[in-house]
């Protein structure tokens, strides 16, 4: 038995030795966006070649970021750089976020709003700005006898959409809108992104940026736009429960529908239609003065530096990020290869984004339209979104009524807010 104990002790000793043999300063980025994994790997390699500082980039599988982060951050070689999606995500991780207020990153931000603050401390810095709206196929729109200029508010959007829907056979379409699929691959477009609209207008009306209890002032408008989507789509509303994100892409790219609600990140999916045939319209929901409304622009991607990492690793990470946003390689990679709109003042001229859907947003903003901010990071929890999503699906199929959506939206908000605070 003594031999066993000795053996076990020897093993423990070996393990202890392996753990204490730590390396010099290094960077470990737990990346959120699988689409850009290859570019980050490449960038990490270049940085290591130039400076000798090892940079590891690991990308979490889609939808598994929180889970991956939870286990990775426990390790002795924990991520020094990770990301949160906004105030709600920060609530989980605030103890792990290093204050970035004194770094170059914050100084280079084009707008103070892109810093995720807690008091005076800057806990996160946005690194990509995205925009969504209703992507429209202008070729089909013109074939139906309309132009983008005809659509300036909800009323005109409804008129055009319903007319197209009525003449869909003649136009060779399946519907005006792509299917508003409520499968998990697509339901976020409605339970999160579309739900941002009534929240945005309510926050505007009340002059707030967050709330413990939503009133649902603009839920009739939410109903109006949802009715428009489901009744003028490519399929029966009852079938939406099983429609996926790919279904909507296929319908849009196959030129079976004119309108498709999604964002700048979807450019690669739809680009084969040709930039000259595509544009993006604001999501009008019938609020007074919406003729001046722009696209929904914001971010849910904030870089956070791990506060519990070794100080030298923290410094190395900040140096890496500063290099990414100021060096030629870093800027080229982020703006052109990753296709991001990056909210730092170093990204001008040739480092501006080439995404045509981004150009639409820039043009609209230049024309004086007011961008709609992203308020969905203030939604109380995933659970709340799921509740609204279920109710929307049931309403579309006719197995539930709109009152259930209102209840999930308003009562659900208060309940979930109380449960998470």
Residues of this chain that bind other proteins (CB under 8 A): 1, 4, 66-67, 70, 73-74, 88-89, 91-93, 95, 182, 184, 238-239, 241-242, 380-383, 386-387, 390-391, 393-394, 397, 399-400, 408, 416, 419-421
Q: Which H helix or E strand runs over 144?
A: none
| Stated length of the chain | 421
Q: How far is the CB of 246 from other proteins (least distance, A)?
A: 13
Q: How far is the CB of 377 from other proteins (least distance, A)?
A: 11
Compare residues 283 and 405 and give the one whose CB is closer to other proteins.
Answer: 405
Q: Is 160 exposed, middle or buried (0-12, 13-18, 19+ CB in 10 A)?
A: buried
Q: How far is the CB of 5 from other proteins (least distance, A)?
A: 10
Q: How far is the CB of 129 from other proteins (least distance, A)?
A: 23
Alpha carbon separation from 317 to 44, 125, 303, 327 (Å, rounded): 11, 13, 11, 15
Compare residues 74 and 112 and give the one whose CB is closer to other proteins.
Answer: 74
* Upper half-sphere CA count for residue 299 (Cβ side, 13 Å): 21
Compare residues 34 and 400 and give the one whose CB is closer to other proteins.
Answer: 400
Distance in angstroms (rounded) separating the CA atoms of residues 334 and 76? 29
Q: How far is the CB of 261 from other proteins (least distance, A)?
A: 20
Alpha carbon separation from 353 to 51, 301, 332, 336, 372 (Å, rounded): 27, 17, 10, 6, 20
Compare residues 275 and 394 and give the one whose CB is closer to other proteins.
Answer: 394
Interaxial angle between packed helices 219-231 and 196-206, expressed in degrees from 0 to 180 and rounded to the nearest 10? 160
Compare residues 205 and 308 and give the one whose CB is closer to other proteins.
Answer: 308
Compare residues 14 and 38 and give the one whose CB is closer to other proteins.
Answer: 14
Q: Which H helix or E strand runs over 372?
A: strand 370-373
For residue 248, what are its two tokens? 């909507």
In sequence order, which residues have a C-beta less than 8 Å from that of residue 413 and are 6 or more positions away?
A: 211, 213, 214, 379, 380, 384
Compare residues 242 and 311 and give the one whose CB is closer to other proteins.
Answer: 242
What would the DSSP string read from start to end of 313-344?
A: HHHHHHHHHHHHHHSHHHHHIIIIIS--B--B
**Helices (DSSP H) in 144-218: which residue ranges?**
154-166, 168-171, 188, 196-206
Q: Is 225 exposed, middle or buried (0-12, 13-18, 19+ CB in 10 A)?
A: buried
Q: How far is the CB of 66 from other proteins (least distance, A)?
A: 7
Compare residues 1 and 367 and give the one whose CB is closer to other proteins.
Answer: 1
Distance in angstroms (rounded) separating the CA atoms of residues 176 and 234? 7
Q: How far is the CB of 79 from other proteins (least distance, A)?
A: 12
Q: How far is the CB of 281 from other proteins (least distance, A)?
A: 30
Compare residues 30 and 283 and give the one whose CB is closer to other proteins.
Answer: 30
Q: How far is the CB of 78 from other proteins (least distance, A)?
A: 9
Asked if residues 191 and 261 have their Cβ atoms less than 8 Å apart, the reply is no
In sequence order, which residues have a C-beta less than 8 Å from that of residue 16 and are 6 or more positions away?
A: none
């Amino acid at each position: 038995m003594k031999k066993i104990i000795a053996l076990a002790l020897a093993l423990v000793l070996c393990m202890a030795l392996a753990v204490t043999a730590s390396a010099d300063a290094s960077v470990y980025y737990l990346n959120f966006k699988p689409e850009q994994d290859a570019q980050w790997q490449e960038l990490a390699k270049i940085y290591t070649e130039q400076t000798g500082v090892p940079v590891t980039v690991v990308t979490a599988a889609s939808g598994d970021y929180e889970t991956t982060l939870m286990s990775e951050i426990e390790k002795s070689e924990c991520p020094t750089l990770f990301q949160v999606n906004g105030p709600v995500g920060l609530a989980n991780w605030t103890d792990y976020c290093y204050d970035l207020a004194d770094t170059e990153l914050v100084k280079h931000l084009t707008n103070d709003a892109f810093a995720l603050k807690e008091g005076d401390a800057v806990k996160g810095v946005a690194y990509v700005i995205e925009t969504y709206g209703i992507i429209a196929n202008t070729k089909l729109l013109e074939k139906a006898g309309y132009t983008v200029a005809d659509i300036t508010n909800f009323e005109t959007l409804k008129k055009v959409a319903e007319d197209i829907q009525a003449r869909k056979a003649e136009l060779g379409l399946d519907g005006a809108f792509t299917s508003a699929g409520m499968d998990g691959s697509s339901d976020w477009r409605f339970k999160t992104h579309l739900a941002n609209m009534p929240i945005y207008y309510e926050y505007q009306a009340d002059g707030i940026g967050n709330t413990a209890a939503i009133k649902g002032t603009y839920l009739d408008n939410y109903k109006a736009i949802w009715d428009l989507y489901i009744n003028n789509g490519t399929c029966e509303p009852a079938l939406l429960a099983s429609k996926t994100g790919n279904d909507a892409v296929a319908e849009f790219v196959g030129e079976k529908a004119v309108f498709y609600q999604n964002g700048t990140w979807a450019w690669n999916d739809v680009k084969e239609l040709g930039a000259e045939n595509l544009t993006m319209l604001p999501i009008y929901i019938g609020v007074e003065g919406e003729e001046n409304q722009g696209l929904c622009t914001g971010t849910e991607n904030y870089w956070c530096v791990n506060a519990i990492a070794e100080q030298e690793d923290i410094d190395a990470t900040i140096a890496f990020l500063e290099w990414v946003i100021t060096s030629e390689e870093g800027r080229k990679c982020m703006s052109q290869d990753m296709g991001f709109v990056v909210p730092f003042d170093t990204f001008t001229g040739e480092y501006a984004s080439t995404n045509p859907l981004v150009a639409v947003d820039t043009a609209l903003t230049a024309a004086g339209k007011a961008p709609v901010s992203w308020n969905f990071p203030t939604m109380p929890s995933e659970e709340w979104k799921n509740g609204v999503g279920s109710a929307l699906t049931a309403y579309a199929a006719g197995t539930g009524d709109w009152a259930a959506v209102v209840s999930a939206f308003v009562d659900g908000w208060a309940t979930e807010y109380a449960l998470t605070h």
